[in-house]
Amino acid sequence: MRDNSRIIRPAGRPFNGEITVPGDKSISHRAVMFGAIAKGTTRIRNFLMGADCLSTIDCFRRLGVQIDVEAAPGQVTVHGRGLRGLKGQQEPAVSIVLDTGNSGTTTRLVSGILAGQDFPSLLSGDASLNTRPMKRIMEPLSQMGARIRSVNGNGCAPLAIEPGQLHGIHYTTKVASAQVKSAILLAGLYADSPTSVTEPALSRNHTELMLKGFGADVSSIINEDGTATASIRPCRELFAQDIVVPGDISSAAYFIAAALLVPGSSLLIKNVGINPTRAGFLSVCRDMGGDITLLNERQAGGEPSADLLVKHSSLHSVTIEGGLIPTLIDELPMAAVLAAFADGTTVIRDAAELKVKESDRIATVTANLRAMGCDVTPTDDGMIIRGGKSLHGAVLDSYLDHRIAMSFAVAGLAAGGETRIRNANCVDISFPGFYDYFN
Ligand SMILES: O=C(O)C1=C[C@@H](OP(=O)(O)O)[C@@H](O)[C@H](O)C1
Ligand SMILES: C=C(OP(=O)(O)O)C(=O)O
């Protein structure tokens, strides 16, 4: 079997200079999805060619959409088929089978779209994806009139979706999840009356921003009690857009952390998306004492971006909780590693969602931090990290979770001795070429 381990050695020199990181995963997924169901040709620049986004392209190609991956890096052209132009199997009773790979975003958002089609479909992913909870979308979509069922009756994919007449609902979600919100809003495009979703705190709002650009009648408000409501009206058509995808702040997080941890570093990370619903990692790093300056702030398609100048800093502990959690949910493994190197005790709470990602990230972060000598206690909704002790290199596993592999590659830079990360290639899910950047 091919050795899929990576050895990480302590950084011998500072992280200096200028880099760009690949395009934002969430925005890349949405650009293809909305382009596919819009009228006209959507041109995407700086698309993320990560495995998850390629799963989205693959699904829509199977649904009859021509999608050209151009020779110029990151350029993708989507020849939209209109809101009601997706194609199922020729035999109307036979389901079209879509492979969503490792991608929760693909599975949940595409389910919202498929609920509104007049053909049956079956969505299934890899072993990890097929253990992730799907009741959270099945329940609201069913309330809207969708006929969606977990084939194995365990609330997970494979999901079978039959044609159904959709109507608008108001739905209150238990967790702040952009995937759940987006699945409902996308189904709402096909409903016969308006749909709205209230979530306990605002989750990433790329769907709302981009759908507006495509011509949908969508609005959102923050309520007085801190909950957030997004609403959408049924739609006759969406219209193609040109989308420029900003760099992914979730990918930038590894290099922000590396520059903060490695003495003497001064790193400029150019063109990073800083949408406030995604930028919690920046505020947490700054609260820890991290020296991060935003330069050249600008907007494209409603999405703000900036260049980030990050300098080595001595870090101290923080508490990460509440409404901040959805704004850095994917960066929490990296934040936990930073906390291990920071003075004092960091508490992460209100983050039970970590348990239902590509791995149980409370368990996998705890296991790897402990292997490196960190004193960490997992809790039901987060962890308590007693930082400030020097960590040592160790043999770690990614648990086939890209975020775990990358977070602990950074840990390996700042620890003493050699770190081996097993199953390291899973970084391709969101950051192809990640290790080349390190080298
Ligand atoms: O909508 C999205 O693009 C995403 C939403 C988040 O998931 P949840 O909606 O489950 O929180 C995040 O973890 C995932 O990486 C991408
Ligand atoms: C949770 C993630 O993605 P998804 O839910 O799309 O699989 C992630 O990228 O960290």
Q: What is the pLDDT of residue 3?
A: 64
- Mean pLDDT over 374-381 rounds to 98
Q: Do 196 and 279 fall within a single domain?
A: no
Note whether 424 and 388 are same-domain residues: yes
Q: What number of other Cβ atoms are within 10 A of residue 42's Cβ? A: 24
> Which one of 330, 397, 401, 428 is the catalytic residue?
330
The answer on pLDDT for 438 being more than 90 is: no
The chain-wide mean pLDDT, for the chain, equals 97
Assign 2 a pLDDT band (cuts: 50, 70, 90). Answer: low
CATH, residue 419: 3.65.10.10
Question: Rounded CA gap, 51 and 429, in Å?
Answer: 4
Residue 78 predicted with pLDDT over 70? yes
Q: Which two tokens stand for residue 350?
A: 């209100």
Same-domain status, 60 and 123: yes
Separation in Å, CA 335 to CA 212, 325, 365? 32, 11, 10
pLDDT tens-digit series, residues 354-373: 999 999 999 999 999 999 99
CA of 90 to the centre of ligand 2 (A): 32
Residue 93 forms part of a structural domain: yes
Sign of CA dihedral 374, 417, 312, 278: negative
Q: How far apart (Å, rounded) are the C-alpha atoms in residues 280 and 381?
A: 18
Give yes or no: residues 62 and 202 share one domain: yes
pTM of the predicted model over 0.90: yes
Same domain, 33 and 162: yes
For 13-31, the pLDDT digits (tens) are 999 999 999 999 999 999 9
* pLDDT one-digit tens code per residue, 108-167: 999 999 999 999 999 999 999 999 999 999 999 999 999 999 999 999 999 999 999 999
Residue 13 C-alpha to ligand 2 middle, in angstroms? 32
**What count of Cα atoms within 13 Å lies in the side-chain half-sphere of residue 63?**
34
Q: Which of 180, 199, 231 is the last residue of a domain?
A: 231
Binding residues for 3-phosphoshikimate: 25-26, 30, 177, 179, 330, 357
The residues with which 273 forms a beta bridge, in sequence order, are 305
Same structural domain for residues 185 and 288?
no
> Can 330 be counted among the known catalytic residues?
yes
Is residue 241 a part of any domain in this protein? no
- Testing ligand 1's pocket by substitution, the residue of 128, 134, 179, 275 carrying the most ligand atoms inside 8 A of its CB is 179
Q: Is 179 in the pocket of ligand 1 (CB under 6 A)?
A: yes
Domain range for residue 115? 25-231
pLDDT for the residue 300: 82
The amino acid at 45: R
Tens of pLDDT along 301-360?
A: 889 999 999 999 999 999 999 999 999 999 999 999 999 999 999 999 999 999 999 999
pLDDT band at 439 (very low <50, low <70, confident <90, very high): confident
Who contacts 219 (Cβ-Cβ below 8 Å, separation ≥6)? 208, 230, 231
Report which bound ligand comes closest to the CA of 105.
2
Beta bridge partners of 116: none
Statement to judge: residues 277 and 411 lie in one domain:
yes
Same domain, 254 and 208: no
Residue with tokens 């709470």: 349
Q: What pLDDT digit, counting tens, does each position of 90-114 carry?
A: 999 999 999 999 999 999 999 999 9
What was the pLDDT predicted at 1? 43
- pLDDT 10s digits, 181-211: 999 999 999 999 999 999 999 999 999 999 9
